Structure 1
Amino acid sequence: MNYWVLRAESSDGAIVDALPKDSPTNWKFSTGEPLARGFPAGGRVSFSDHFPDRRKLYDFVRNTVGVLLVSSRVKQVLDDLQVDNMEFLPIVMCDHQWNPVVDGYGILNILGSQEAIDMEKSIYDTSALSREISHVSNLVLTQGKVDPKADIFRARNMMELILISDRTKQAFEEAGLTGFRAHPAEGFDDMFA
């Protein structure tokens, strides 16, 4: 089975650079643990002041805080695929002046992880503070260790890396979801993605 690295990418879409007030700290969003209990109801995010001309909204919204910020359309596609290792944390999407612009967006928190990275064959750097991979320049996937039913998952040892199956990629494309790119996982280099 082929897997793909999922990234929010757009050349003209809005960019968000902060989490909602009173939400868990950034690093908690890459632990694969549930966060709904500590997430603020009605939490608001706004388009970044650093990119005042970027106002277009896609189904996947670029951000600088390392989360999957998505529309409810993304959640619906994953629900239709019966993906059960995720939680959708609703947010209020606001423009640069903090005026709400659209309903139905949230942070998609992928729960758990899969042993997807071949630590002996991949080329990577680790964080000085942990054994987590901080940068990968040649990703090699493990053979036979990823649950074949896993359609979207975090890569153990690099929890910020989100992978999707062929089935998920195809479902996203058939639904016409916007603002994402699926990079082939084998050989992936995060410096050029």
Structure 2
Amino acid sequence: MKERTMNDRFTIWRFKDIENAYVPKKLLNMKRMLRLLMGVSLADDMPSNLQFTADPDYPNDTLMLDSFGNTQSVIPISAKLKVFLETKNIANLEFIPLAMLDHKGKVMAQYFLLHSTELIDAINKEKTELEVDDLNTEMYDTVENLSLLDECVPSAIQIFKVKGLYDVTCISKALAKEIDDQGFTGISWKEIATYSC
């Protein structure tokens, strides 16, 4: 019987390009942004008045999805998707209120940042090609042939951040399928073994 691997269990949360969809540009009012990217809990210091500006290069793109790709390496989600995920009782998952601004700077919708503080040191350093970030030695800025160690991730875990990687949030394939089946928009999945940066 074939042994299950991390590629069988998990996939990486990514985003789907959809025509006329809103394009976030910059995250405002987030002090110490590195906390978000490194999976540090914000429960005791919850940011207030977080806002995403709209990209001025796409003035006519206003379609609101359940999640949006962005250059800030964060995961904005709709209130509807937040409610769905809350029913799953996922450990160490925080939802940070976020306003999406229109192209005139006015609030057009209320969203949340999906922020996992389940940080797991799971990289197989023998099989993954890594280069340490010059500015932050706890993180890697170049990754090829990502391989994760299955035994490092407990069976109950549904969503987690990979320690050392700024933009990798893994989600169980079972939960990813449920999200797809529910028809949530703007989300795609990337196989762990195909990730590089």
| Superposition deviation, residue 56 in structure 1 | 1.6
Count of residue pairs the alignment pairs up = 188
Instruction: Check whether the contact 1:85–1:112 (CA below 8 A) recurs between aligned residues.
Output: yes
TM-score by length of 2: 0.85
8 Å Cα contact 1:123/1:138 also seen in 2 = yes
Match of 2:36 among 29, 33, 51: 29
Q: What CA deviation, in whole Å up to 9, does each residue of 1:163-190 have, x standing for no partner?
A: 01112111211221111111111x2233
- TM alignment of 1:1-150, pairs within 5 A: 1-12=8-19, 13-21=21-29, 23-103=30-110, 105-129=111-135, 130-150=137-157
Query: What's the TM-score, normalizing by structure 1?
Result: 0.87
Indicate if the aligned counterparts of 1:26 and 1:66 stay in contact, CA closer than 8 A.
no
Alpha-carbon distance between aligned partners in 2 of 1:20 and 1:86, rounded to the nearest angstrom: 21
CA contact (8 A) 2:118 2:159 kept: no
Residue ranges of structure 2 left out of the alignment (5+ in a row): 1-7
Q: Distance in 2 between matches of 1:97 and 1:190?
A: 36
Residue 173 of structure 1 is matched in structure 2 by 180
Q: CA deviation at 1:131?
A: 4.1
Q: Contact 2:73/2:166 (CA < 8 Å) preserved in 1? A: no
Q: Which AA in structure 2 matches 1:19?
A: L
Unmatched 5+ stretches in structure 1:
none
SS at match of 1:171: helix
Kindly provide the CA deviation profile for residues 31-81 of structure 1, in whole angstroms up to 9, marking residues without a partner as x. Answer: 211224444434332211133233222111122211111112222222121
CA distance in 1, matches of 2:161, 2:171: 9
Contact 1:117 1:155 in 2 (8 A): yes
Shift in Å at residue 159 of structure 1?
A: 4.1
Q: 1:45 aligns to what SS in structure 2?
A: strand
State whether residues 91 and 157 of structure 2, in contact with CA within 8 Å, keep that contact through their aligned partners in structure 1: no
Give % identity.
21
